Amino acid sequence: MRQFLLYILLFTHALGSAQSYDNDLLTKDFHKGRRQALRKLMPDSSCVVFFTNPERQRANDTKYLYHQDPDFYYLTGLKEPNAVLLMFKEPQTFYDTIVTDEIIFVQDRNPTQEAWTGKILGKDGVKLQLGFDKVLLNSQFADFKIDFSKFQKVFHKEFFDDVRDDKEDRGDLYSLIKHFRLKTEYKRKNLDNFNLEGWMSTLREIKQPEEMVLMRKAIDITCMAHAEMIRALEPGMAEYQAQAVVEYMFKNMGAEYEGYNSIVGGGENSCILHYETNRKKLDGGDLLVVDAGAEYHGYTADVTRTMPMDGKFSEEEKAIYNLVLEAQEAGIKACKSGAEFRASHKAAVAVIQKGLKDLGIIKNSNDFMKYFFHGTSHYLGLDVHDAGNYGRLFPGNVITVEPGIYIPSGSDCDPKWWNIGVRIEDDILITNGEPEVLSGKLPKKVEEIEALMKEESLFNKMTK
């Protein structure tokens, strides 16, 4: 069996052999440390309030798979809904017996419900596994005696407008938000829904060593999945079949989810930036753009590669591809500590402007935006477009570099360029020296892509 497949088998065996469930989650000490870091940013006599993400209905009585608010997870490690976290700059006293600088209100355990949907942590689990000292039930929040007016500032984030009310649950998210508003209604002047987002961006844009372990794993899984998908490509496949290979590999190597909806666009769809239908049958003359990233323990990768379905780039495709690659390499080179965030974009734009003019696709430099109309970089982490301040780059930032050129049919250029869409994206760690390309093990040069497409794929054997 090919060395690559052997590596996958060893990798997946290692994931599951240590114990029955994951043993590489972020620790309670990590989350506690993040709360301490936030508390240092809070002004004196202040309180911050965080709510979980809402549960969202998919259809009838079916909900979407729950995904926690990234800030809430970052600070607590809790993956369950219907909870609220209160943090105080200075320790507070409640009912003459509770002295604390933080309280979390969580769901109660319900054995009957757990028989249907699985066990939850409850009060004891949150204390034991997540390390909170003061844990109360969410149903107690409505009657909990707290005078928010005594704080100089009460910080919170904007509320969602799609929170549903379960009239039989006094501790659901709808009720938690309602009673927070009731408790603060008489002194709205001390409420602040602006600064908290900035503080969380400051914390989350610098990845801690524990986070980088998970990010590297998510990116490694993603690179191996893309490589196997590239091997499996054949004319006549559908976009969704290429998607299936990538997402199968994600799951098989331990990723819980896709970090975002996989973008698999061939032919004319390669020119649609966030195409997600993925239903087209792919012809031999199509270019295929695949933008897909695995999410591992909350942290997501974001990688894009572009391939010719017949295994060989045409001269026009190669010209556009190499231009995008040159722009990406210039963008990566610009990712230095202390540089402005947009340095990578400016470097990529300069290359694309000149290249498109040299190819005769545009006449004026500013016309490049007809074919390259998005930014080159964004932060990456718990969100695919992660929190960050978009100021200067610092060691510990993880960002993408993803220039692209998209020339749809009917464009104001020679028709030989029509329906050529190319994007190349890698995940970059900012260091004190040269940037580290975390996804660099996945080939991206023309000759490397063509060579990889000639390699045998296990999936081709399975479907024949």
Is the pLDDT at 1 greater than 80? The verdict is no
Determine whether 44 is an active site residue.
no
50 close to 75: Cβ distance less than 8 angstroms: yes
Tell me, what amino acid is at 109?
Answer: R
* 389 to 195, 232, 385, 386, 422: CA distances (angstroms): 12, 40, 12, 10, 28
Residue 5: is its pLDDT beyond 60? no
Active-site residue (options: 234, 425, 426, 427): 425
Q: What is the pLDDT of residues 377-424, one digit of tens each?
A: 999 999 999 999 999 999 999 999 999 999 999 999 999 999 999 999
**Catalytic residue, candidates 73, 275, 321, 406:** 406
Q: What is the per-residue pLDDT for 330?
A: 98
**Which residues are CB-contacts of 270 (< 8 A; sequence separation ≥ 6)?**
286, 287, 288, 289, 306, 406, 419, 420, 421, 422
Residues 196 and 218 in one domain: no
Q: Are residues 303 and 321 in the same domain?
A: yes
pLDDT of residue 159: 85
Q: Tell whether 280 and 362 lie within a shared domain.
A: yes
- Are residues 423 and 312 part of one domain? yes
Q: How many domains does the structure of the chain reveal?
A: 2
pLDDT given for residue 136 in this prediction: 98
Q: What percent of the chain has pLDDT over 90?
A: 89
Say which of 385, 392, 414, 448 is annotated catalytic.
385
Q: Is the pLDDT of residue 142 over 80?
A: yes
- For the question of residue 13 being annotated catalytic, the response is no
Q: Same domain for 412 and 316?
A: yes
DSSP 278: -
User: What is the arithmetic mean of pLDDT over 175-187?
Assistant: 89
Please list the residues that pair with 363 across neighbouring strands.
none
CA distance 214 to 255: 10
Residues in the chain: 464
Residue 162: what pLDDT?
79
Contact 145, 94 (CB under 8 A): yes
Q: Are residues 19 and 163 in the same domain?
A: yes
In terms of domains, do 125 and 249 share one? Answer: no
Catalytic pick among 2, 188, 274, 392:
274
Say if residue 306 is in the same domain as residue 413: yes
Domain of residue 161: give its range: 3-202
Active site residue 260: no
What pLDDT is stored for residue 339 in this prediction?
98
pLDDT recorded at residue 164: 84
Q: State yes or no: is 425 an active-site residue.
A: yes
What average pLDDT does range 213-219 have in this prediction?
Answer: 98
Verify that 216 and 192 share a domain, yes or no. no
Q: Are residue 73 and residue 185 in the same domain, yes or no?
A: yes
C-alpha to C-alpha distance for 236 and 231, rounded to whole angstroms: 14
Note if 161 is an active site residue: no
* Chosen domain end from 202, 222, 244: 202
> For residue 166, what pLDDT is reported?
85
Q: Do 93 and 194 fall into the same domain?
A: yes
Is residue 219's pLDDT more than 60? yes
Residue 457: name the closest of 301, 262, 277, 230 by CA.
230
Beta-bridged to residue 102, according to DSSP, are 87
Q: Any bridge partners for residue 404, and if so which?
A: 423
- Does residue 345 have an active-site annotation? no
End position of a domain, from candidates 171, 202, 233: 202
| pLDDT at residue 169, as a whole number | 87
Residues 95 and 32 in one domain: yes
Residue type, 392: R
Is residue 309 a contact partner of residue 444, using CB atoms and an 8 Å limit?
no
Residue 463 binned pLDDT confidence (cut-offs 50, 70, 90): low
pLDDT for residue 16: 43
Among the listed residues 373, 437, 351, the one whose alpha carbon sits nearest the alpha carbon of residue 401: 437
For 317-328, how does the pLDDT look when each residue is reduced to its tens digit (9 = 90+)? Answer: 999 999 999 999
Residue that terminates a domain, selected from 202, 222, 240: 202
> Could you tell me the pLDDT band of residue 185, with boundaries at 50, 70 and 90?
confident
Give me the phi and psi of 273, to 5 degrees please.
-60, -50
Q: Which residue has the higher pLDDT, 187 or 103?
A: 103
Q: Does the active-site annotation cover 90?
A: no
Residue 56 near residue 97 (C-beta atoms within 8 A)? no
236 pLDDT higher than 60: yes
Decide if pLDDT at 4 tops 60.
no
List the CATH number of the domain containing 324: 3.90.230.10
pLDDT grade for 464, boundaries at 50, 70 and 90 = low
How confident is the model over 353-365, as pLDDT tens digits? 999 999 999 999 9
Q: Which of 102, 172, 211, 402 is catalytic?
A: 402
Residue 220 a catalytic site member: no
pLDDT digits (tens, 9 = 90+) for 325-339: 999 999 999 999 999
- Give the pLDDT confidence of 19-49 residue by residue, as tens digits: 689 999 999 999 999 999 999 999 999 999 9
- Respond yes or no: is residue 378 known to be catalytic: yes
Alpha helices in 334-416 (DSSP H): 343-358
Distance of alpha carbon 117 from alpha carbon 97, whole angstroms: 35
Q: What is the DSSP letter of 150?
A: G
What burial class does residue 318 get, using C-beta atoms within 10 Å of its C-beta: 0-12 exposed, 13-18 middle, 19+ buried?
Answer: middle
pLDDT number for residue 19:
64
Give pLDDT tens digits for 297-318. 999 999 999 999 999 999 999 9
Per the DSSP assignment, residues forming a β-bridge with 103 are 86
The domain spanning residue 63 has which CATH number? 3.40.350.10
Query: If you average pLDDT over every residue of the chain, what do you get?
Result: 94
Establish whether 297 is a catalytic residue.
no
Q: What's the pLDDT score for residue 10? A: 41
pLDDT digits (tens, 9 = 90+) for 52-95: 999 998 999 899 999 999 999 999 999 999 999 999 999 999 99
